[in-house]
């Protein structure tokens, strides 16, 4: 390779190196200072900054507006007064006096941190006077990876969990009292009134254990077991007998159902025959009833006619002389009966009947014998 060609390659590498250097300086915020762009200092007072050094980028609403120029103590005589971060801000950006700085350290200790200038949204304030400092706070290490809303939710959740634990403390105390060991003897026979114990869960468990032991001692006896086996055997026999009785009752019920059906059929046939006989009797009686109705009607008409004085019967009933004739006839019949009685009485005494016989000279009495 000749000398001219070698010099050409060297020049190309030199230019490439200068270009890379300019890119790196621009990326790390050194290029504006070297180029002499217009800047002014912004003082930020932070209590304990960490992960911040010279060249740290300063952002406003996501736009880089400067870089950190220096980090020093606010008062060398009072080191606890905090640190003062001096930043170089491009002159075209104005910081309001109500702004504050949030210092975000590098996550996991890798890379470089950043400073975010926060401004109240929708609020217009006067510019920060020259020489005054704004307040700065340290941000969350996870601020670049976890959203603020999620961190707020986590903070609220942790706070609410703390409230929950605080509210749960009395319940835990009550549960401790409930589970505290209180024996049955201590509850039933307290030493003194001041130390009298009340039954709790441990007492109930102890009483239940004693009951189980007593149950086991009672039903674990061979004689008791034999008695229970006998009882179960008897119950089984009773169940079988009951099953047999139920089967017999079922059979009787079936037979009874058949008999009831047969009797019902006979009753229905008898009822049908009775209905037929009653219908025939009704048919036979109907003419008699009709004739009776006609006779009753005729009698009613006859009575009505007699009451009205129509016809011979009506005149006979309504004629007042008829009553006198009937009275006279009754008297004469009475006299006739008396005469006949006297004749028969004389006949019984004398054996003959005396009659008046008409002759030429007049009526002559004559005795007439009645043959036997």
Alpha helices in the chain (DSSP H): 3-27, 31-35, 148-179, 184-188, 201-219, 222-308, 311-318, 320-350
- Dump the DSSP string for 228-256: HHHHHHHHHHHHHHHHHHHHHHHHHHHHH
Is the model's pLDDT at 46 over the cut of 80?
Answer: yes
Would you place residue 124 in the very low, low, confident or very high pLDDT band (cuts 50, 70, 90)?
Answer: low
Average pLDDT estimate for 229-243: 86
Helix axes 201-219, 222-308, angle to 10 degrees: 90
Average pLDDT estimate for 301-310: 70
What pLDDT is stored for residue 355 in this prediction?
Answer: 60
Of 107-116, 142-151, 192-201, 207-216, which has the strongest mean pLDDT?
A: 207-216
**Residue partners of 125: CB distance under 8 A and separation at least 6:** 96, 97, 98, 99
What pLDDT is stored for residue 206 in this prediction?
Answer: 82
**Helices first, then strands: H and E counts in the chain:** 8, 9
% of the chain with per-residue pLDDT over 70:
77
Structure tokens at 322: 């008829």
In this predicted model, what pLDDT tens digit does every residue of 244-262 receive, in sequence order? 888 888 888 888 888 888 8
What pLDDT is stored for residue 287 in this prediction?
Answer: 79
Please tell me the distance from the alpha carbon of residue 353 to that of residue 346, in angstroms, as a whole number: 7
Please tell me the distance from the alpha carbon of residue 260 to that of residue 301, in angstroms, as a whole number: 58
What pLDDT is stored for residue 30 in this prediction?
Answer: 52
Average pLDDT estimate for 68-86: 84
Beta-strand pair 39-46/83-90: antiparallel
Is the model's pLDDT at 34 over the cut of 70?
Answer: no
Tell me the pLDDT of the chain averaged across its residues.
77
Please tell me the least confidently modeled range out of 86-90, 203-207, 219-223.
Answer: 219-223
- Report if pTM > 0.85: no
Is the model's pLDDT at 167 over the cut of 80?
Answer: yes
Would you place residue 187 in the very low, low, confident or very high pLDDT band (cuts 50, 70, 90)?
Answer: confident
Phi, psi of 102 (to 5 degrees): -115, 115
Is the model's pLDDT at 282 over the cut of 80?
Answer: no
Phi, psi of 83 (to 5 degrees): -110, 155
Is the model's pLDDT at 87 over the cut of 70?
Answer: yes
């Amino acid at each position: 390779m000749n000398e001219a060609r070698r010099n050409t390659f060297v020049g190309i590498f030199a230019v490439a190196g200068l270009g890379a250097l300019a890119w790196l300086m621009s990326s790390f915020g050194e290029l504006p200072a070297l180029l002499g762009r217009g800047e002014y200092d912004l003082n930020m007072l932070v209590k304990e900054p960490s992960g911040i050094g010279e060249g740290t980028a300063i952002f406003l609403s996501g736009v880089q507006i400067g870089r950190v120029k220096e980090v020093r103590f606010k008062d060398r005589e009072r080191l606890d007064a905090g640190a003062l971060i001096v930043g170089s801000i491009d002159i075209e950006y104005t910081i309001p006096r109500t702004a504050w700085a949030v210092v975000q350290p590098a996550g996991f200790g890798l890379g470089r941190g950043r400073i975010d200038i926060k401004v109240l949204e929708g609020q217009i304030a006067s510019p920060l006077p020259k020489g005054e400092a704004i307040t700065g706070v340290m941000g969350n290490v996870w601020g670049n990876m976890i959203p603020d809303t999620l961190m707020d939710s986590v903070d609220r959740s942790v706070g609410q969990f703390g409230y929950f634990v605080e509210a749960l403390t009395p319940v835990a105390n009550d549960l401790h009292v409930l589970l505290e060991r209180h024996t049955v003897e201590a509850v039933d026979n307290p030493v003194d009134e001041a130390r009298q114990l009340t039954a709790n869960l441990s007492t109930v468990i102890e009483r239940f254990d004693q009951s189980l032991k007593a149950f086991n001692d009672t039903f674990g006896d061979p004689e008791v077991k034999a008695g229970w086996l006998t009882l179960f055997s008897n119950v089984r026999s009773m169940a079988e007998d009951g099953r047999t009785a139920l089967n017999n009752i079922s059979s009787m019920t079936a037979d009874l159902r058949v008999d009831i059906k047969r009797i019902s059929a006979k009753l229905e046939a008898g009822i049908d025959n009775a209905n037929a006989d009653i219908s025939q009797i009704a048919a036979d009686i109907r003419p008699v009833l009709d004739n009776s109705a006609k006779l009753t009607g005729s009698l009613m008409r006859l009575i009505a006619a007699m009451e009205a004085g129509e016809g011979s019967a009506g005149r006979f009933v309504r004629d007042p002389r008829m009553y006198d004739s009937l009275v006279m006839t009754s008297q004469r019949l009475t006299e006739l009966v008396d005469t006949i009685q006297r004749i028969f009485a004389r006949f019984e005494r004398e054996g003959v009947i005396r009659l008046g016989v008409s002759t030429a000279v007049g009526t002559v009495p004559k005795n007439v014998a009645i043959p036997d």
